[in-house]
Structure 1
Amino acid sequence: MTDLPSSAKTIVVGGGIVGASTAYHLAAMGQETLLLERHQLSSGSSWHAAGLVGQLRSNANVTQLLGYSVALYDRLEAETGLATGWKMNGGLRLACTPERWTEVRRQATTARSFGLEMQLLTPREALELWPLMNIDDVIGAAFLPTDGQASPSDIVQALARGARMGGATIREGVAVTGIRVEKGRVRGVLTGAGPIACEKLVLCCGQWTRALAARVGVNVPLVSVQHQYLITEPIPGVTPGLPTLRDPDRLTYWKEEVGGLTMGGYEPNPKPWAEAGVPDDFAFQLLPNDLEHFEPTMALALGRVPALETAGIKSFINGPESFTPDGNFILGPAPEVTGLYVGAGFNAFGIASGGGAGMALAEWVANGAPPYDLWPVDIRRFGRNTLSTRAVRERTLEAYARHYAMAWPHEEYASARPARRSPLYDRLAAKGAVFGEKLGWERPNWFAADGEPPVDVPTFDRPNWFDAVAREHRACREAAVIFDQTSFAKTLVTGRHAEAALSWICAGDVIRPPGTLTYTQMLNARGGIECDLTVARLDEETFYVVTGTGFATHDLDWLRRNIPPGLDVRLHDATSQNAVLSLMGPRARDILAPLAEEDVSNAAFPFGTCRRLSVAGAPALALRITYVGELGWELHVPVEFAATVYDALMAAGAPHGLRDAGYRAIESLRLEKGYRAWGADIGPDHSPLMAGLGFAVKLRKNLPFLGREALEAQRDGRLPRLLAGFTLADPSVTLLGRETIYRDGKRVGWLSSGGFGHTVGRPIGYGYVRDPEAGVDPGYVLSGSYELEVATERFPAEAFLRPLWDPEGARIRA
């Protein structure tokens, strides 16, 4: 290719739907963009995608992103003059068991929360929309009128034309063979036709993304999985307006295709592909038909649509697609290399996601931030356990097999475990710990007593571990517990300018003497909460930053990206150095004092401080802080001392009623205390003022910090939303999050988190009360009459802004 430019501001690699969409949106923003495709546009997996476009997901912003795809496809043909095959024929979802019907009703409430009107139908009403199906086993159905379907290849071509119309350059037949990185920043790509310089690089290479990114140390957790479907000859009664159909209890999906039907599914025993690597020359190709593997899916499908038995088969598709370990796609800036972005791993819903994903990725590239919080798909949600392709494949196959399985609350993955274990793992397992997993870490969720099966039993109602968590909860409130929180992410920030850097990045005041703790948020320029963590000052040049397990990659990356240039600051991931034993409860001091060689009285060791102690002969960094609303300490001890300290604490605590407790008790305790959870109650779309965290921000001090201007603009007026708590009088109702909030009969938001408070004896939820036009203040929140909608049923609710438990904080300062 002699007409390749020598440089471009942004290079997009990959000409599938996501790459074309990203180029289209970058061009629309006036960004100089070059798209490079090894073969031809849509030649990877886009050309053989089934083309269903659904919108509803469990996260509001991902649902919004998919809704953007629908809006884009609705206008794209008129804008570019190319047909897209898009039609808004609606989407139908069946429920054939009582449990599935509960799930569908909860999904309908979620849809309503997010502004989508999902209609619940009787079997007969569903049959009127889809006359070819057998409804003998159908209990009910849900219909989303704004869902639809599209022609994948046509959508790609239309987006490419739109990109060219906006000024983007697209070159096919150009293979990217390498990435040039200097001092941690992307500088260009290497191609078969020579090098091309760039400032920013976007990898949208589908199945090839993991291998290409790995050449420069970037981890993209995805693998290839075979996905099969068939297309029939025309069938009498199949009309162009037939909705798409999802039949999760039979693991299948359907759509109209030129008078016939497309039928595919997600089998429980998926087959990987290209385990030794995806061939570079795999373009417009399919895999051999695996009829034996597809036969069980076919049998399930025949039970739903008997006409399939006599229909002619026009084509049988077995195409590999990229899937991820959690079933969500991957977007955003690679934490390992500045200027490199990823859009890949679309789990067979790349067509539904492509329009919105390209828009979000383009904004991320051009503006340094996405249009709204996209944490569920952020590449930084993964950790070191996904560096292994074998582990990624094992977990991804499980996620694929669950695609149409029941989405049970609190469900844990079983594969690729255990990976990362605390030094206490075996001790806790022997004591009945039922473990969950986060970023590869095994963490006790709850402890089974003698005679209790140490397993989660899935349900939408009160779970089998409810009483166990109640025991642990009460022990924390009345005596003391130990939580193994070794999985906390821990970062050492050191250097001559560590204080200056953290003072800029943190909204809270960290310019405090050694030995003090600062609970703080780190904000973006819009004032949104990017991180929620604790900063311990150890000495003049050393800070110890502690954050949640799941945010290890994200928060370390946020710190790295926002250190002002020229400062002497070093970051060290200390997560694996220290185990963390959190001793919490009113008897915590009685247990710790005999084991500590130092004074741990309130006068010597007040709340909000940290000290180095010798506990049972072991060195410990003790942080007097709590996430459960009780007196307590986090004891950060070197991993080799963890078992010694744990055994000593348990022995000293036995007379005081000390017991082990898990993360589900933490959740119950923190709900009563009103502590926020990042990724649920707070995030980049919410400022501390909206979240009720203004007390943690240094606005009263004349100190600059990232996001200050945005908060100053907010503080003098009514806000578009405020976080409030809600309780229900009926203790049998299960709150999980995403339930719809009604104020005076009007929908004003949804719950961001929910659970049960075992001290107050009520279900508790948190969510934002919204009024973007008139604004919201505390008086407005507390003056309304509220209801929560749970699985389409409304329940009276009481709103609160002050913590339900110990609102003055006396217990934590005891």
Structure 2
Amino acid sequence: MSTTPRVVIIGAGIVGTNLADELTERGWHRLTVLDQGPLPLTGGSTSHAPGLVYQTSGSKTMTEFAGYTVDKLAGLDVDGGWCFNRVGGLEIATTPERLDDLHRKQGWATSWGVSGAVIGPEECAKLHPLLEPDRILGGFHTPDDGLAKSTRAVVALARRAESRGAEFRGSTRVLGISQHGGRVTGVKTDHGEVPADIVVSCAGFWGQAIGEMAGMNVPLLPMAHQYVRTDQLPELVGRNDERSEAQLPILRHQDHDLYYREHNDRLGIGSYAHRPMPARLSDLPEEDSPTEASMPSMLPFTEDDFADSWEHSRRLLPALETAKIETGFNGIFSFTPDGGPLVGESPDVAGFWIAEAVWVTHSCGVARSVAQLLVDGRSQVELHGCDAARFDEIETAADYVEETAQRNFVEIYDVKHPLQPKLSPRDLRVSPFHARQQQLGAFFLESHGWERPHWYEANAGLVKDLPMEWQPPSRDAWSAMYHSPIAAVEAWKTRTAVALYDMTSLKRLEVSGPGALSFLDELTTGKMDKSVGAVTYTLLLDEAGGVRSDLTVARLGEQLFQVGANGNLDLDYLRRQLPAEDGVRVRDITGGTCCIGVWGPLARDLVQPLSRDDFSHEALKFFRCKSAHIAGIPVTAMRVSYVGELGWEIYTSAEYGQRLWDVLFAAGRDLGVVAAGRAAFNSLRLEKGYRAWGADMTTEHNPYEAGVGFAVRPQKGDFVGREAIARLDKHAVTRRLSCLTIDDGRSVVLGSEPVFLDGEPAGYVTSAAFSHTLGTPIAYAWLPAAATVGTRVHIQYFDRRVRATVAAEPLVDPEMHRIRR
């Protein structure tokens, strides 16, 4: 009798058919794929998608998804017809800013292993003769990109999956998700119920409606995107036929939100330049027999919205000056609050999974990862930026999703700085100190709805007082964006006096109840059974030993712990691991509490006079915590420091937050206290070599190569990932997260840039900052283990290479004297 589960996939588009193929390849053959449309042209987004596959993005994960899509589809055909046409990609620049951005993209490509080069206008015109070289400044050519024939690919994938036992049922409308005891049991359809142990929704823009059937909020917004085809162009006649379809590289004119591809002797043009057009499912046409010209995912073309795009296209491509638009439509795609896919299992209904908001470009890669999660319990590609649980509650609210998804549509081709915050919505989540921060002229950036001070204009007058060795050099225009030399003041004051940092936005969880100790002990790499008041830096690993997250766990009572986490993914994971009957509770306490980091050599001089409790080193040692009162306010003081200075994270209830800020700030005036922001914080934490999960390390890395092996205690007993860790030789890593100092003392890189060793690409930058303490830019990068201290490397920054040297870490206070006093 088969032991593989019964799987129902909802949606027979490019994602659903890919998933069926991936699962059946792994031996899961009790599999049914349902779609409300007829097969194979079901009428969803796949049926009209133009099929552009550009691999390169700022996300390593998304680039790897796209790379797998290229490789997989290139190996498929339907009766000799291609499923992927490797015509290459060409992104052109008509402004200096865009040309700079193309150099940055070429750096990403190099970091992630994609072939590509920035070329001049004449070379662009040779690749794409419809271009007028005098109208462009250059382009980024990626020869391995190309066109996916998604309608043909679903046929090839379905045939292969059916040959292994999968069943496809078209014209079958899903009416509900059956469940019992918190698990899915089947899918209700207009043709009866299909039993299931696992249900995966790959329904595209219908995914929100399917999620509602299972009680899962799926934060996506269907939106229309314009696409037209021209009439016959003389310049294209005879170049292609109906079978080959295209030879010219797909073209993107992102300065005007446009892209182009051949359709035999016609040109297809897609535009994101129009107003956002959200689509309601209830307004979509119902087509029992979709055709290429009419399907539910295609809305009527609104000619006025395309007028400007048509004029820009004619200026870029002179061949269009006498051309006409032959056909056009507004096609529906899915957009999310951050533009990423949605992958994961329902937090409430076991066995109900989603793989939504996935475009053709990433379809094969996402499907492979979902199959790996289902079969192996782990994706080989790191998924934190795609996990459906990555959003906090406010980010899944309908109003938030609608506003942010529309903003993502508008900005889809914009040149975006890595620190660029949302314009709106803002001020959704603020700490109790927010009014005081505004009075101090805080420059806020945003993360998960939280307003986070980056620096304070109130400190601008101190820039002139900076000692010569603390004076920062001028920056280039890109690294100077969302930066101020005031950050140097705030770092200087932290190292020489005392500063207050708002740490409220960091996720805080309370784990309590009988069994809380054993619960945390079984999940983390550190020893949790320490005395009350102990604080432990520890890791969550997956079964393969990859770093799922890093946590700071404070034992507040025998069965009461406060967990400093990285975000909602940690909350979701801990809740999923809760034992059924031990009475353990996991509660998000972030919004009801607040935290001030008080750090600097004068931190004790500031805090001790305000409290009758003993804040001496002997009474509250490093990595210990205790309950106390400061100016009568009940607090929990935690002796940790992510800036490498004496001090505490001081927590209190949100109701006391403003009062706590006021008394600390007033008492610190004679000591030179300043409020300090995230710019200084990031610089100081990198000087100390403290890792940021999600940037410096992920599940793709084990603790020893990531430099956090000290947090692993195999001798404590069993924990998730222990067996995998036991098989590793911590002295024989082949790659390492390495600290780099920039040789010229002024070139500040920002992250994701490629690193060259002996002239060859060898790794990539994860985090970077200007070290105000040392007076030089620094970066962390993944490099071969052979790149030991003293090794010279180069970092590609736009179109130039910057020399750097592998340095011993931490760069500041390696003996930890400053923290332990």
TM-score by length of 2: 0.92
Cross-structure match for 2:103: 105
SS in structure 1 at match of 2:385:
helix
Cross-structure match for 1:508: 526
* 1:451 Cα deviation after fit: 8.0
Write the distance in 2 (CA, Å) between the matches of 1:519 and 1:18.
Answer: 39
Write the distance in 2 (CA, Å) between the matches of 1:276 and 1:449.
Answer: 52
Cross-structure match for 1:704: 718
Amino acid at match of 2:265: G
Amino acid at match of 2:630: V
Q: Pairwise mapping of residues 419-434 of structure 1 onto structure 2 (< 5 A)?
A: 419-434=428-443
* 1:463 Cα deviation after fit: 3.2
Cross-structure match for 1:4: none
Which of the residues 806, 812, 820 maps onto 1:805?
Answer: 812
Give yes or no for contact 2:262–2:268 (8 Å, CA) kept in 1: yes
What root-mean-square deviation, in Å, do the aligned CA atoms of Structure 1 and Structure 2 show? 2.1
Which of the residues 728, 735, 758 maps onto 2:742?
Answer: 728
Give yes or no for contact 1:20–1:156 (8 Å, CA) kept in 2: yes
Of the structure 1 ranges 471-480 and 186-195, higher mean CA displacement relative to structure 2 is found in: 186-195
Write the distance in 1 (CA, Å) between the matches of 2:282 and 2:629.
Answer: 51
Which of the residues 316, 320, 331 maps onto 2:332?
Answer: 320
Give yes or no for contact 2:11–2:33 (8 Å, CA) kept in 1: yes
Write the distance in 1 (CA, Å) between the matches of 2:576 and 2:286.
Answer: 34
Write the distance in 1 (CA, Å) between the matches of 2:668 and 2:218.
Answer: 45
SS in structure 1 at match of 2:233:
coil
Which of the residues 285, 294, 316 maps onto 2:306?
Answer: 294
Cross-structure match for 1:351: 360
Write the distance in 2 (CA, Å) between the matches of 1:450 and 1:746.
Answer: 43
* 1:382 Cα deviation after fit: 1.1
Cross-structure match for 1:62: 62
Write the distance in 1 (CA, Å) between the matches of 2:166 and 2:307.
Answer: 45
Q: Pairwise mapping of residues 109-128 of structure 1 onto structure 2 (< 5 A)?
A: 109-128=107-126
Cα distance change of structure 1 residues 464 and 86 upon mapping to structure 2, 3 Å threshold: closer
* 1:380 Cα deviation after fit: 2.0
Give yes or no for contact 1:208–1:278 (8 Å, CA) kept in 2: no
SS in structure 2 at match of 1:61:
helix
Write the distance in 2 (CA, Å) between the matches of 1:506 and 1:114.
Answer: 31
Listed one character per residue, the Cα deviations across residues 75-104 of structure 1 (whole Å, up to 9, x for unaligned) are: 111xx6473442100000112222211111
Cross-structure match for 1:14: 11
Of the structure 1 ranges 269-278 and 526-535, higher mean CA displacement relative to structure 2 is found in: 269-278
Listed one character per residue, the Cα deviations across residues 143-163 of structure 1 (whole Å, up to 9, x for unaligned) are: 000000022222222222222
Give yes or no for contact 1:233–1:313 (8 Å, CA) kept in 2: yes
Which of the residues 172, 175, 191 maps onto 2:173?
Answer: 175
Cross-structure match for 1:581: 596
Runs (4+) of structure 1 exceeding 6 A deviation are 275-283
Is 2:229 the partner of 1:211?
Answer: no
Cross-structure match for 1:190: 188
Give yes or no for contact 1:268–1:402 (8 Å, CA) kept in 2: no
Give yes or no for contact 1:449–1:468 (8 Å, CA) kept in 2: no
Of the structure 1 ranges 170-179 and 282-291, higher mean CA displacement relative to structure 2 is found in: 282-291
Write the distance in 2 (CA, Å) between the matches of 1:459 and 1:432.
Answer: 23
Write the distance in 1 (CA, Å) between the matches of 2:256 and 2:476.
Answer: 19
Give yes or no for contact 1:748–1:769 (8 Å, CA) kept in 2: yes
Give yes or no for contact 2:549–2:693 (8 Å, CA) kept in 1: yes
Amino acid at match of 1:337: V
* 1:197 Cα deviation after fit: 2.8
Which of the residues 418, 426, 435 maps onto 1:409?
Answer: 418
Cα distance change of structure 1 residues 83 and 50 upon mapping to structure 2, 3 Å threshold: same
Cross-structure match for 1:719: 733
Cross-structure match for 1:249: 255
Count of paired positions: 788
Write the distance in 1 (CA, Å) between the matches of 2:671 and 2:444.
Answer: 26
Write the distance in 2 (CA, Å) between the matches of 1:448 and 1:86.
Answer: 53
Amino acid at match of 2:264: V
Write the distance in 1 (CA, Å) between the matches of 2:340 and 2:743.
Answer: 36
Give yes or no for contact 1:14–1:204 (8 Å, CA) kept in 2: yes
SS in structure 2 at match of 1:376:
coil
Cross-structure match for 2:469: none
Cross-structure match for 1:307: 319
Give yes or no for contact 1:462–1:732 (8 Å, CA) kept in 2: no
Is 2:43 the partner of 1:25?
Answer: no
Cα distance change of structure 1 residues 229 and 471 upon mapping to structure 2, 3 Å threshold: same
Cα distance change of structure 1 residues 233 and 280 upon mapping to structure 2, 3 Å threshold: closer
Give yes or no for contact 1:408–1:458 (8 Å, CA) kept in 2: no
Is 2:503 the partner of 1:485?
Answer: yes
Cross-structure match for 2:571: 556
Give yes or no for contact 1:8–1:197 (8 Å, CA) kept in 2: no
Which of the residues 577, 587, 590 maps onto 1:572?
Answer: 587
Tell me, which stretches of 5 or more residues in structure 1 are unaligned?
1-6, 771-775
Of the structure 1 ranges 633-642 and 323-332, higher mean CA displacement relative to structure 2 is found in: 323-332
Give yes or no for contact 2:47–2:151 (8 Å, CA) kept in 1: yes
Cross-structure match for 1:786: 793
Is 2:618 the partner of 1:620?
Answer: no
Write the distance in 2 (CA, Å) between the matches of 1:725 and 1:392.
Answer: 38
Give yes or no for contact 1:246–1:252 (8 Å, CA) kept in 2: yes
Write the distance in 1 (CA, Å) between the matches of 2:43 and 2:511.
Answer: 46
Cross-structure match for 1:773: none
* 1:564 Cα deviation after fit: 5.5
Cross-structure match for 2:427: 418
Cα distance change of structure 1 residues 418 and 393 upon mapping to structure 2, 3 Å threshold: same
TM-score by length of 1: 0.93
Give yes or no for contact 1:754–1:763 (8 Å, CA) kept in 2: yes
Amino acid at match of 2:317: V
Cross-structure match for 1:270: 276
* 1:182 Cα deviation after fit: 3.5
* 1:221 Cα deviation after fit: 1.3
* 1:43 Cα deviation after fit: 1.4
Amino acid at match of 2:801: R
Of the structure 1 ranges 157-166 and 50-59, higher mean CA displacement relative to structure 2 is found in: 157-166
Give yes or no for contact 2:284–2:299 (8 Å, CA) kept in 1: no
Listed one character per residue, the Cα deviations across residues 537-586 of structure 1 (whole Å, up to 9, x for unaligned) are: 111111111113xx2x2001221233466544221221222111111111
Identity of aligned residues (%): 35
Tell me, which stretches of 5 or more residues in structure 2 are unaligned?
240-245, 462-474
